[in-house]
Amino acid sequence: MTLPLDARIYVAGHRGMVGSAILRHLRAKGHVHLITRTSQELDLRNQQAVELFFQQEQPEYVFLAAARVGGILANSTFPADFSYDNLSIALNVIHAAHKQGVKKLLNLGSSCIYPRLAEQPIKEEALLTGPLEPTNRAYAVAKIAAIELCDHYRTQHGRDFISAMPTNLYGPEDNYDLLGSHVLPALIRKMVEAREKKLPHVEIWGTGTPRREFLHVDDLAEACLFLMERFSAAGPINVGTGEDISIRDLAVLVQKVVGFEGQLVFDPTRPDGTPRKLLDVSRIQALGWSAKVPLEEGIQHSVQWFVNHRAQARV
């Protein structure tokens, strides 16, 4: 099916990296009835406020991209916040969507829902087959609960609520705060600033041996609309590039793009996290979607975005 261009579409989390990319993509496609609220206007952790909002706005389609997100340090430092915020956001939005009779909801999760040592590349069936990665267990359990909730509303009430599981993401509106961010924006910021200050080295957390897959957020936004229009089934569906890279090689790539000529110093006292998180993307590819933005090109755009938006970026 194709989403009508005048369909009432609510993008929850529209100021974040994922939500803003989905909003850009929907606008570019010509959608004219896009509903948004900032977290100051609507606290999605407040069930009453969420239900009142759904009654007033009556969205027909919902992209649930609102979440408390962060990198390995933020996740392992604030597990109660990651747990409470993400559970309550998912509970309130998914339940209100059911009560209001929303036609379709797409719930955004993350590749960290899968077991720490899942067979690689990770198939959707690996969910709940083994222990989680401790550093992001709080976030992962909240995201697994959201998938389960969508599936229970499908089973018990016939709701068409689907769950997309993206791999590690990067792109415009990313978080460049070095304590809360993910690895790629952190490396970009560290290397740009080291180049400008002519610093002798840049510190990379961990051993550099973990491997990660990186999907540009514009690719994810396109995949979300694609899935909203063509995927209706229980369980997670992976969204990724199907290729991964070691943190060491990623750092060398960022160093090349930024033009930083100093040393890369690895700090093994910092956590490595999951050894590898490569998604099996054969299911979404079989539906006809695949990622397009090459990693080096995406990094070049992100370096430029960071330099151009440093004043107002989340640093």
Q: Which residues bind ligand GFB (CB under 6 A)?
A: 71-73, 75, 110-112, 135-136, 139, 168, 181-183, 186, 204-206, 210, 212, 247, 270-274
Nearest partner of 253 among 205, 302, 207, 220, judged by Cα: 302
Residues 96 and 262: their CA atoms lie apart, in Å, by 52
Place of tokens 């998912």: 90
Which residues contact residue 259 at a Cβ distance below 8 angstroms, ignoring those fewer than 6 apart? 195
**Closest CB 122 distance from ligand GFB, rounded Å:** 12
**Closest CB 168 distance from ligand GFB, rounded Å:** 4
Q: Which is nearer to ligand GFB, 181 or 302 (CB)?
A: 181
- 31 token code pair: 């959608």
Residues 124 and 240: their CA atoms lie apart, in Å, by 12
Measured from each CB, the residue nearest to ligand GFB is 71
Q: Which is nearer to ligand GFB, 100 or 135 (CB)?
A: 135
- Are 35 and 22 within 8 A, CB to CB? no
- 68 token code pair: 């408390």
> Is-catalytic flag, 139?
yes
Q: Which is nearer to ligand GFB, 102 or 264 (CB)?
A: 264
Residue type at 209? T
Choose, from 10, 61, 114, 139, the residue flagged as catalytic: 139
DSSP class of residue 171 equals S
Q: Which is nearer to ligand GFB, 59 or 206 (CB)?
A: 206
**Closest CB 103 distance from ligand GFB, rounded Å:** 29
DSSP three-state, residue 267 = strand
Nearest partner of 113 among 148, 74, 92, 139, judged by Cα: 139
Sign of CA pseudo-dihedral 68, 71, 77, 80: positive
Q: How far is CA 159 from CA 30, 35, 105, 155, 238, in A?
A: 26, 21, 9, 8, 20
**Closest CB 170 distance from ligand GFB, rounded Å:** 9
Q: Which is nearer to ligand GFB, 75 or 302 (CB)?
A: 75
**Would you give the distance in Å from CA 23 to the centre of its chain?**
14
Q: Which is nearer to ligand GFB, 71 or 172 (CB)?
A: 71
- 243 token code pair: 């290729």
Query: For residue 246, how many C-alpha atoms fall within 13 Å in the half-sphere facing its CB?
Result: 8
**Closest CB 238 distance from ligand GFB, rounded Å:** 12
**Closest CB 78 distance from ligand GFB, rounded Å:** 11
Instruction: Please identify every residue annotated as catalytic.
Output: 139
